[in-house]
Structure 1
Amino acid sequence: MCRQIHPNLAKDSVGLGGRSKETINRKWDELAICLNTHESGATKNGQCWRRVSLCYILLFILLSSLIDNFYNCAESYFSL
């Protein structure tokens, strides 16, 4: 079970209509069991791991945007 990849968790949808939210929550709980079996680190439930992953995604987007802006500013500065 721990080696299975759940790509639909990233999209927050599995295409099951009204039961989709239940399925997503169950998949996050399955993933939490796998993550919590690691010897070191925090033990969290599925919803906590979901929030952690969303924070990392938002941080990645923010850093990507900052780096992009930095390169654009540097490019315009040095092209003068």
Structure 2
Amino acid sequence: MPLFMDVHENLPGATANDVAAAHKKDVEIQDQYGVNYLRYWVDESNGKVFCLVDAPDADAAAAVHKEAHGLLADHLYPVVEGS
């Protein structure tokens, strides 16, 4: 399945706890879209969040965020995992 990294910018005041709660909501509904949100990273000082997701396509990945909490990514990049 394709792998994507999404980037949320302009989230001033978002904390790691806030993002954990949003991620939990993603995980609760992701199966409906054939998506698997794998990991996320939070940059609290710059108001940015990065999410790594297996999804059939970018639209499916975005649909999960939209339904789960409404926080759509500003950018969604197809990526290939390396070591």
TM-score range, shorter chain: under 0.3
- Looking at secondary structure, tell me which structure has more helix per residue: 1
TM-score normalised according to structure 2 size: 0.27
TM-score normalised according to structure 1 size: 0.28
Between 1 and 2, higher relative CO (CA 8 Å, sep ≥ 6) is seen in 2
